[in-house]
């Protein structure tokens, strides 16, 4: 029996590119199929039934038809629009940062429901407090986890001894934390403060809502931000482009207590 | 496309196909069709096309005021004394100016950004004509800025960025109304558009 020519899927829109006269090439992450690229025919026309349903950071129920080279979006219905998040510049820039990471780590024909749920949960928490950076840190950490790249936080990755409550070192290249006795040749090696290690372990053990309530001073926040975004960028193998706009907005805002 | 792909074709024809193939939305087959169409054109039409391409590259400049594409700076709109100098409509692209002018309902000035902030594509505020906009907004005669970026996520982000960074407290900052398109259908309208259409409902 021939496989069905149409299918339905729940997905979150990551980005789109205008193609041809009025079409959109939409990149989405689906709950059951992983990353999917599909064409929205005529979706740029103001009267298209797809218009408004394919904006990035929108959860959509899709009806799709298998195309020769690419699937075609036949129907789209918004499930969750995250409209409050999209009404805030910080919220948009952070949401797009998450979308770029999901696009980079998500693979086509390789569903990862944990990654899908992580994205939805992170956007939900971010929507409640778009100024907070903690949902981004939680997302970066758990993105590594659901992608099978979880850094080691409890034992030295070289000698395997249990880590003492002390300052250590960290490298994504060797897979996590190193004790002070081990000195592998590694250009990615960086110091890891005890406070940062404790926060990483907290991120490992807690849910996103609890983690998002955590407050910390600027130096600890900067250390975590640098460590996690560098690690994510290392595994992605390229620079995260939306990070520079995020940094710009952060630098333009009044410095104060990290939320 | 390389010349090897169309072996047997004359080198000048191959070159034309290659150049057409660089255009957005033009694949190898379309490029070949266009090239053969151009060959079959009468001489005067083909030379007129070539002349138009040369002329546009030699003559088009950015208007020093609105940053729109023009033959002479300042452009016709900016140098027209009948236009309302107190209101500036900010648009993404030169094509948006043409769309607005077709309505004949706006008599103010424009400012063309030449894009929108698109973090995922690495396009930030510095790649847009924002400095020029903020400099124009400093003029005391400007009383209102209409931000007419597209109602997309990136268009909205750009509008918010402009709103946040313009330095005048006495400037009226507006954006175009959001709602249902003429010829649209309620059934297929997304919830955000429908909500905004309700918020902007009018007496009939």
> And the tokens for B129?
């004509």
User: A210 vs chain B: nearest CA distance in angstroms?
Assistant: 29
Side-chain half-sphere exposure of A35, counting CA atoms within 13 A = 16
Domain stops at, among A65, A80, A95:
A80
- On whether residue A241 sits in a domain, the answer given is yes
Same domain (yes/no): A227, A138: yes
Q: For the residues B164-188, what does the mean pLDDT come to? A: 91
Same domain (yes/no): A13, A121: no
pLDDT, averaged across chain B: 92
Same domain (yes/no): A19, A124: no
Question: B60-89: per-residue pLDDT in tens?
Answer: 999 999 999 999 999 999 999 999 999 999
Domain stops at, among A22, A47, A80:
A80
Q: Is the dihedral of CA A147, A149, A153, A154 positive or negative?
A: positive
Q: What ipTM, to 2 d.p.?
A: 0.89
* Domains: count for chain A: 2
What's the pLDDT score for residue B5?
54
Same domain (yes/no): A72, A177: no
DSSP assignments along A193-254, one per residue: -HHHHHHHHHHHHS-HHHHHT--B-HHHHHHHHHHHHHHHHHHHTS--THHHHHHHHHHHSP
Same domain (yes/no): A76, A90: no
Judged by a CB distance cut-off of 8 A, whether residue A92 touches chain B is yes
What's the pLDDT score for residue A221?
94
Same domain (yes/no): A93, A220: yes
- On whether residue A1 sits in a domain, the answer given is no
CATH code for the structural domain at B79-197: 3.40.1360.10
Which residues of chain B have a CB within 8 Å of the CB of A62? none
List the single residue in A with minimal CA-CA distance to B193.
Answer: A52
Judged by a CB distance cut-off of 8 A, whether residue A201 touches chain B is no
- On whether residue A225 sits in a domain, the answer given is yes
- On whether residue A259 sits in a domain, the answer given is no
Question: A209-222: per-residue pLDDT in tens?
Answer: 999 889 899 999 99
| Residue ranges in chain A whose pLDDT is less than 70 | 1-3, 254-259
- Closest CB from B120, B183, B189 relative to A96: B120
User: A204 vs chain B: nearest CA distance in angstroms?
Assistant: 28
Same domain (yes/no): A155, A190: yes
Question: B119-150: per-residue pLDDT in tens?
Answer: 999 999 999 999 999 999 999 999 999 999 99
Size of interface A-B (CB pairs under 8 A): 72
Q: For the residues B98-111, what does the mean pLDDT come to? A: 96
> Which range marks the domain in which residue A62 is found?
7-80
Q: Which residue has the higher pLDDT, B189 or A140?
A: A140
Same domain (yes/no): A139, A157: yes
- On whether residue A34 sits in a domain, the answer given is yes
Confidence of residue B6 (pLDDT cuts 50, 70, 90): low
Question: A70-126: per-residue pLDDT in tens?
Answer: 999 999 999 999 999 999 999 999 999 999 999 999 999 899 999 999 999 999 999
Q: Is-cis flag, bond preceding B74, omega within 30? A: yes
Would you call B119 and A97 a contact, using CB atoms and an 8 Å cutoff? yes
Q: For the residues B106-121, what does the mean pLDDT come to? A: 96
Instruction: Give the start-to-end residue ranges of the domains of chain B.
Output: 3-59, 79-197
Q: Which residue has the higher pLDDT, B94 or B185?
A: B94
Domain stops at, among A80, A105, A130:
A80
Q: A115 near A29, Cβ under 8 Å?
A: yes
Chain A, window 49-78: residues with a beta carbon less than 8 angstroms from a chain B beta carbon: 49, 51-53, 55-57, 78
Q: In percent, how much of chain B has pLDDT > 70?
A: 96
Would you call A93 and B119 a contact, using CB atoms and an 8 Å cutoff? yes
CATH number for the domain spanning A212: value is 1.20.1440.120
List the single residue in A with minimal CA-CA distance to B161.
Answer: A89
CATH number for the domain spanning A76: value is 2.40.50.140
Written out in words, the top-level CATH class of the domain with range B3-59 is mainly alpha
What's the pLDDT score for residue A1?
64
């Amino acid at each position: 029996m021939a496989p069905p020519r149409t299918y339905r899927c729940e997905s979150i829109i990551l980005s789109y590119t205008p193609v041809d006269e009025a079409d959109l090439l939409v990149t989405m992450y689906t709950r059951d199929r992983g990353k999917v690229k599909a064409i929205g025919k005529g979706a740029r026309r103001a009267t298209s039934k797809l218009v408004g349903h394919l904006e990035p950071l929108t959860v959509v129920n899709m009806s799709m038809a298998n195309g020769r080279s690419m699937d075609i979006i036949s129907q789209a219905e918004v499930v969750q629009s995250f409209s409050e998040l999209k009404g805030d510049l910080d919220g948009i820039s952070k949401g797009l940062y998450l979308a770029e990471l999901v696009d980079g780590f998500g693979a086509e024909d390789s569903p990862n429901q944990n990654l899908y749920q992580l994205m939805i949960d992170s956007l939900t928490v971010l929507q409640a407090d778009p100024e907070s950076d903690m949902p981004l840190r939680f997302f970066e950490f758990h993105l590594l986890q659901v992608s099978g790249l979880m850094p080691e936080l409890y034992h030295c990755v070289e000698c395997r001894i249990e880590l003492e409550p002390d300052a250590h070192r960290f490298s994504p290249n060797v897979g996590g934390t190193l004790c002070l006795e081990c000195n592998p040749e590694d250009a990615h090696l960086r110091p890891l403060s005890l406070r940062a290690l404790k926060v990483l372990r907290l991120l490992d053990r807690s849910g996103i809502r609890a983690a998002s309530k955590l407050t910390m001073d600027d130096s600890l926040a900067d250390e975590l931000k640098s460590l996690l975004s560098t690690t994510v960028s290392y595994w992605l193998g390229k620079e995260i482009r939306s990070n520079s706009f995020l940094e710009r907005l952060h630098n333009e805002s009044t410095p104060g207590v990290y939320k | 496309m390389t010349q090897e792909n169309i072996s047997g074709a004359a080198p000048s024809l191959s070159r034309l196909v290659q150049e057409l193939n660089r255009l957005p939305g033009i694949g190898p087959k379309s490029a070949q069709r266009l090239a053969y169409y151009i060959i079959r054109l009468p001489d005067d039409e083909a030379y007129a096309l070539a002349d138009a391409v040369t002329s546009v590259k030699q003559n088009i400049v950015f208007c020093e005021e609105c940053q729109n594409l023009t033959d002479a700076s300042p452009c016709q709109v900016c140098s027209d004394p009948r236009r309302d100098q107190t209101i500036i409509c900010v648009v993404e692209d030169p094509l948006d100016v043409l769309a607005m002018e077709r309505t004949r309902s706006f008599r103010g000035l424009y400012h063309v950004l030449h894009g929108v902030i698109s973090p995922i594509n690495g396009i930030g505020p510095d790649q847009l004509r924002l400095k020029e906009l903020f400099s124009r907004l400093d003029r005391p005669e400007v009383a209102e800025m209409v931000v007419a970026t597209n109602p997309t996520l990136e268009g909205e982000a750009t509008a918010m960025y402009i709103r946040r960074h313009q330095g005048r407290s006495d400037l009226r900052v507006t954006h175009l109304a959001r709602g249902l398109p003429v010829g649209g259908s309620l059934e297929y309208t997304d919830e955000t558009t429908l909500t905004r259409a309700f918020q902007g409902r009018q007496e009939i």
